[in-house]
């Protein structure tokens, strides 16, 4: 039955990723992939919160499967991040490609640590 929780989370995460990406990109006239950046950082924050809550004993295994594996797994996208970075470099926007890598990794890790710290403060 655990797999149903993962599927349920993914059924929300995948459309949320697509709709967020389209909505953000429609509002920004730039080659920088702000939509993918946003969903990856948001997913990192949520996963940090879930992980911190789990470490504090406040998130059960079903919650971790639903939100951590299902929702965050479908919301975030390493493959699109990689593709968009490659596309930027191939199109001559090398500065944007480098910025995408640096900002995505730094913001994603920062969001995950912030989420874990917030959860630890709330439930620790």
pTM for this prediction: 0.94
Helices (H), ranges, the chain: 2-27, 34-55, 61-63, 72-75, 78-90, 94-123
Q: How far apart are CA 50 and CA 40, in angstroms?
A: 15
Torsion angles phi and psi, residue 2, rounded to 5: -60, -35
Q: Which domain covers residue 55, as residue numbers?
A: 2-123
pLDDT along the chain (124 residues), means of 10: 97 98 94 97 98 95 97 97 98 98 98 97 82
How many structural domains does the chain have? 1
Residue 124 has a pLDDT of 64
Residue 86 structure tokens: 């490659």
Residue 36 has a pLDDT of 97
Residue 97 has a pLDDT of 98
Residue 52 has a pLDDT of 96
Provide the phi-psi class of 6: left if phi over 0, else alpha when psi is between -120 and 50, else beta: alpha
Contact, 50 vs 117, CB < 8 A? no
Contact, 66 vs 6, CB < 8 A? yes
């Amino acid at each position: 039955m655990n797999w149903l929780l993962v599927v349920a989370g993914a059924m929300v995460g995948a459309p949320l990723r697509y709709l967020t990406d389209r909505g953000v990109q429609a509002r920004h006239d730039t080659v920088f992939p702000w939509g993918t950046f946003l969903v990856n950082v948001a997913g990192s924050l949520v996963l940090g919160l879930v992980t911190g809550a789990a470490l504090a004993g406040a998130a059960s295994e079903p919650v971790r499967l639903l939100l951590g594996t299902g929702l965050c797994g479908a919301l975030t996208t390493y493959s699109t991040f990689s593709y968009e970075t490659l596309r930027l470099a191939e199109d001559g926007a090398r500065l944007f490609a480098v910025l995408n890598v640096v900002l995505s990794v730094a913001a994603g890790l920062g969001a995950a640590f912030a989420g874990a710290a917030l959860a630890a403060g709330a439930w620790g």
